[in-house]
């Protein structure tokens, strides 16, 4: 069975997550491309990658999506909820996530703000240059801008009523 991009978009809208993962790469380390070459210092810096994920208790549905679009299928472990149905998640990272966004993104409805922000992030990321060549670290200003994208997307994905809406509702309830 072939899953359409429109169906995938509906699944992402209802059961999915669009996010940016922030990866701290730690301290610089020595890297040697071959035994006869001198080692070079590889400056690692914070990285940001995109992730698209869908979760569900229906394994067959996720397998059908995986057969059409790939991705990594894993079991969701919830030891503190033994009475719940077993959950599964299908995840795409980096380039694969970009491919999923190109196919399903234009059809998203509920997650359109997250999609728009991810497109903006991807355009910004393409312009980034590393300091000292391809193995160099990112400029700290670039990392800060990427972190701001990360925070904005995290705020869009936050569950519950946004804080500004809560204060508006409280005022509406008092005047009623």
Architecture of the domain whose range is 5-163: Roll (3.10)
pLDDT at 80: 79
What distance in Å separates the CA atoms of residue 23 and residue 48, rounded to the nearest whole number?
6
**pTM for the full model?**
0.77
- The rounded average pLDDT for each run of 10 residues, N- to C-terminus, in the chain (176 residues) is 94 96 76 75 78 96 96 90 89 96 97 97 86 73 93 91 57 51
Per-domain residue ranges of the chain: 5-163
Distances (CA, A) of 59 to 21, 34, 55, 73, 93: 25, 44, 9, 9, 20
């Amino acid at each position: 069975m072939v899953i359409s991009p429109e169906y995938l978009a509906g699944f992402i809208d209802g059961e999915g997550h669009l996010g940016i993962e922030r990866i701290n790469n730690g301290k610089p380390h020595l890297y040697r491309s071959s035994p006869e070459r001198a080692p070079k210092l590889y400056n690692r810096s914070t990285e940001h990658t995109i992730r698209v994920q869908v979760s569900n208790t229906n394994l067959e549905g996720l397998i059908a999506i995986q057969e059409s679009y790939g991705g990594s299928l894993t079991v969701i472990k919830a030891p503190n909820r033994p009475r719940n149905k077993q959950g599964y998640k299908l995840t795409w990272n980096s380039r694969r996530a970009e491919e999923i966004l190109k196919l399903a993104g234009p059809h998203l409805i509920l997650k359109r703000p997250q999609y728009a922000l991810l497109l903006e992030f991807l355009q910004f990321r393409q312009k980034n240059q590393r300091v000292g060549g391809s193995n160099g670290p990112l400029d700290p200003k670039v990392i800060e801008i990427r972190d701001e994208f990360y925070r904005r997307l995290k705020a869009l994905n936050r569950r519950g009523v946004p804080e500004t809406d809560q204060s508006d509702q409280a005022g509406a309830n008092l005047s009623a």
